[in-house]
Structure 1
Amino acid sequence: MTSRHGPAEITCVTFPSRKCRLGNGTPAPPLVIVGGNGSRLAGSVTPATGDAWKVQGRPWRGRRVANCVGPERPHCAAPAAVSPTTGERPRGEAQGAGDVSHQRTDWISIHGHICHLLIPVLGPQPCFHSEKDRKDGKEQLLRRQESLIAVALSTAQGFVWAGKPLKAIPAALQALRFSSQVFGSDSLQLVPIFLLLAEASAGTGRLRQAAKYLSQAQWIVLQTPDCSAALQSKLYRGLGLFSIAEGNLDQALYHLANDVYLATAEFGLNSVEVSGGYFHMANIFFHQNKMDTANSLYTEVSSLWHDWLLSSLQGHQRMLRARAEASPFSEDEEDVKDGMTEAQREEGMQVLWAVLKVREQGPLQHPGETARVLHALAMIHYLGLDLAKAWEVGMKAFDLAKQLPQQDSLETISHLLELINAQFSHTT
């Protein structure tokens, strides 16, 4: 529920033609009925003055609705609209049957993922009789809230990676809502969420809203003197991407240069965290037909990813050998970590496939660089256990490397193909 002066909506996922009940078991007015799939609303509640409420325009006095539950057990209803800046429902805006499509979008985006987590977080909390129980209860609630935030944020990020920014926004707003409650409205924990919301909003063409999210992220960073260079790097990348969306390429280059500088200061000159800024700068120079500069930056990007993936592959093999020596009868290798996060893997695949397209189809064709990008892609797919794709791309790299005057990479590519083939044999 929102404040006294905010809109309040009674929704209920229950059986068709049954009435919602209030949190205390009192039946809600008969006009407030929802179908069993949660997609149809028969009415909404909007505040009048004092404790007076209007249900579909008819006055109704009584306690505000804290929870709407079905006659048998609580359910999580399809959500109402929320504010794009705070994650709360907007003030003074009644929501009724005309917003069903928005609720369905929200449900598909995030509420289907966090429904089971919302009930213990938003529902009435138990009454504890000792200080220890109260402390344990608060800690348990905090863990549940943090789990909800993690699920919402990862879901939003997944939609952005999948090229579905519109679906990412409701999930990110839920992460923002609960992060604000847990960490505070000026916490650095909110900055990555604001940046994600800005990226998703820009992806849907809502540049004005994206600018607001970026301003909020920038304000938090400026108000925090000890903000890490890593987070500042992400902020500048977000500003750079927004400037690209606006068409202001010179401003974008300025922000991306700051991104590269800060990422280098935090992670080192040869880190993959630096490659993102280089990649977006290369795209700008390519667009401006400055091919020499673009070629140099694309080469740097593929080199950083290739070297890092080669190191990750070697580390992965060492862990496999160590595990085999410790437990020679164990055949389950899926739990072995490759040292790569999901975000790194997704960014690496998107960047490397984009660079490959430039190398194969554009004016910057270079067989040696193309072979290196293909090798890197084969490694990242192998580490992600996509063996079929790893074999396909690895064979392309091998065939191309055989045609090069210098065949230094042929041995490492051949070794990778042996690993892929061995893994195929192990899984079949």
Structure 2
Amino acid sequence: MNLIYPLAVPKGRRLSCEVCDAPAERVCTACTVTYYCGTVHQKADWGSIHEKICQLLIPLRTAMPFYNSEEERQHGLQQLQKRQKHLIEFCYTVAQKYLFEGKHEEAVPAALHSLRFRMNVHGLNSVELVPAYLLLAEASLGAGIKDVRHRVWLVTSFTTDSRQIYFASCAFGTEDIRTSGGYFHLANIFHGLEKLELSDTLYTKASQIWHTYLNNHYQALSRARSQQADLLGKRFLNDTGLDEAQEAEAIRILTSILSIRESTFSKEPQKTILVLKTLSLLYFLMMDNSKAKDYAMRALGLAETYRSVEERRVIRNLLDLIYSDEEQEGHATT
């Protein structure tokens, strides 16, 4: 474990601690590609995960060799990504083992590595980061970490409910409406921590889950009407397929996201249109035509402003059904 002297650091390059991202002063002499702010974090990382992956980090953190052909280069990149994916799962499993044993402090560096490798493979804004953030939050909360430098990476306001929501996603799948609350909850946390790009990705994910679910019900209803499947001549009853609690959750999630979207809609209006359209579908299927029409008209206004031809067509079709229902309601009351 040698000290890193200033002259040994290339000009303009910043070396950061593996654990807390502070300026580094030490290097692991075994791999020479991992740096630390001091002995405390170096020992912590070694005891948690570094001893197990030390040599595996060398090919990941050194320049790729010269390849004679594009085919060889692509093969080299694939092997590099394969190693990173292996380390994602290995570090995650090690961190989980520590948590199971009640060793929260040991779990933190391993969870950090899993998160860092996920970022390298999936990008900074991917929902694939969520499991690692949850694991890291659980480890840090259990360890009672107070060091401000650690909080560069930590999300400290995760609750038992949010962890349970993630585990539910393992049972129901990542695209199920029962997991949308988890994405929404995490987005709120990241938004509060000003990790705006990640929160934006999670808000979009929650919106898309609800839109897909409600649009499937809407399309089934539209097909039934077009085929005149109601042989008894009765008016079709719209149905969300949700219970009252789920409908209330959908309204809460979507209206909250809409409020955020409308404050920044000029940057990405399509995301605002998506939420407005989803709320219109929700209220239409709940047979609240007044609110359904209001959200649909707002979506149409945005779509016309930003010249989205396909969106205009879809929204107008929805409005036609809403107007049709209103007419039937009018005839029923006369």
TM-score, length of structure 1 as denominator length = 0.38
**Larger RCO (CA within 8 A; separation ≥ 6):** 2
TM-score, length of structure 2 as denominator length = 0.48
